[in-house]
Amino acid sequence: MNTLESLRFDNVYGGLPGIFHSRHQPELLENQYLIHFNTRVADLLELDPGELSRPDFVSLIGGTSAWPGTDPLAMCYSGHQFGQYVPRLGDGRALLLGQVRTRGNRLWDLQLKGSGRTLYSRQGDGKAVLRSTIREYLCSAAMTGLGIPTTQALALFGSDEHVYREQLETGAMLIRVAPGHLRFGSFEFLFYQNRYDDLKILADFALDHYYPVLKDSREPYLSLFSTIVDLTARLIAQWQSVGFCHGVMNSDNMSIHGITIDYGPFGFMDRYQAGHICNHSDRTGRYAFNRQGPVGLFNLGCLAQAMLPLFDQSPEQAVEKATGELMKYEGIFDDACLKSKRAKLGLHKETDEDGRLYDDLLTVMERDQLDFTNTFRMLCSPGSGRNGMPCSADLTDWLTRYRKRLEIEETNGRDRRRAMERVNPRYVLRNWMAEIAIRKARDEMDYSEIDKLVGLLARPFDEQPDFQVYASPPPDWAARLSVSCSS
């Protein structure tokens, strides 16, 4: 295991030309202190958790003093925000400390979030508030537990500093860990600047360090794009399978690694609504739950546009190749969704009616205002529909169809239930759960709820009898919660 000093930093991104980034030092937070440290993420970095006991741990890992081997920089990118192109965005409140290379030659980005102004902060202060930082810290842990690709968080820091958003709030900082932070918008920025040579440098960087197996393909840049299409389709299908809404699927919030990135106004649905909008700022419903699949395709179209100069010398042929890859998206997405639908219903054999059976259940759930997570979990139980699930006439009819469909399955009921319990979580990070953790931390400096939820969400498919309250219907006050782009 590594100490902080022995981590093998290999800051390959910092070697790229200056157009790609700007160097900054983290800004101090007032009386910064550690709130939580995720030992599971430390294991990814091969970092000894015993380093927590060091007297200089907070100052080193929190960016308030020089961490040997780091090379802090803010990454530059642009992107389509709510469908409109914004020429330059970049890390306005984040700094890439560097990349750590593990013994298995795995490369991990370490990024501070909430570390102060950068060249790309525009009018912002570059800081983060405790509320949003706790939400990201918890949700990255929740997604990891669900097996959904995501950025992760190594450490969460609080401070005595006050940051103004809609009101004065406590400032905080996060250390984010990811295989990389290249976004669709990283390519868009160079394309719209007509910097095609730099665009090639960026694509070569991605191939060299993230997708080396593609370098020997006949058309490596097209293979890179094709891989991103595939990963993005499968990621969003996973979101759909657990009722997760990203909330702000701008192209600058889409990763070339096919991971969930930038947790802001996210939400796991309580009562199922096909058009659920989790982001209070999304007044048109652009990023509603049932539009996440199509938005993924839109964002990939933006990436395809940016990568066109890499595909072929002929613009017409480049467009034809990009279009061919984009046309695969819907098939990959639909197939991945259908696979998850069958798994959630415990269907091993395949019939043409399976997708409709699942979709008809969603229709009933919306009509009867049933909880998304709890409904599917209850289907895992013997005598589905008799264990706390309110049975309307429509639901009774659907359950009859479902039981009839199960008759053609060759697996026994016990094995089927176990398989269903491995894909239908008992626990997800509901907004009210995060809110309780936030209120305790903010009002009482009590961080025990954060620790409790990190442990709970690491095993979301297990029953965990001591924590059944977190699987209960949301309390009445939760209906008044709303999240926006400042969350």
Which one from 10, 48, 197, 252 is the annotated catalytic residue?
252
Residue 479 has pLDDT above 50, yes or no: yes
Residue 389: the pLDDT is 65
Q: What band does 180 get if pLDDT is binned at 50, 70 and 90?
A: very high
Residue 401 has pLDDT above 90, yes or no: yes
Long-range pairs of 145-149 with CB within 8 A, sequence gap ≥ 24? 145/457, 145/458, 145/459, 145/460, 146/238, 146/242, 146/425, 146/428, 146/460, 147/238, 148/235, 148/238, 148/239, 148/242, 148/244, 148/260, 149/231, 149/235, 149/238, 149/257, 149/258, 149/259, 149/260
Q: What is the pLDDT of residues 217-252, one digit of tens each?
A: 999 999 999 999 999 999 999 999 999 999 999 999
Q: Which residue has the higher pLDDT, 255 or 313?
A: 255
Segment (H or E) for 364: helix 354-368
Distances (CA, A) of 213 to 207, 208, 223: 8, 9, 10
Residue 38: the pLDDT is 96
Q: How many CB atoms lie within 10 A of CB 118?
A: 25
C-alpha to C-alpha distance for 137 and 154, rounded to whole angstroms: 8
Distances (CA, A) of 380 to 59, 389, 401: 48, 12, 16
C-alpha to C-alpha distance for 354 and 72, rounded to whole angstroms: 51
Range among 94-108, 165-179, 293-307 with highest mean pLDDT value: 293-307
**What stretches of 242-314 show up as alpha helix (H) in DSSP?**
292-311
Q: Is 252 a catalytic residue?
A: yes
Of 193, 243, 278, residue with least CA distance to 370: 243
The percentage of residues in the chain with a pLDDT greater than 90, rounded to a whole number, is: 83
Q: Which amino acid is at 99?
A: Q
Q: Tell me the average pLDDT across 426-438.
A: 96
Of 279, 249, 284, residue with least CA distance to 266: 279
Q: Which residue has the higher pLDDT, 159 or 65?
A: 159
- The structure tokens listed for 22 are 């700007």
Residue 223: the pLDDT is 98
C-alpha to C-alpha distance for 26 and 66, rounded to whole angstroms: 10
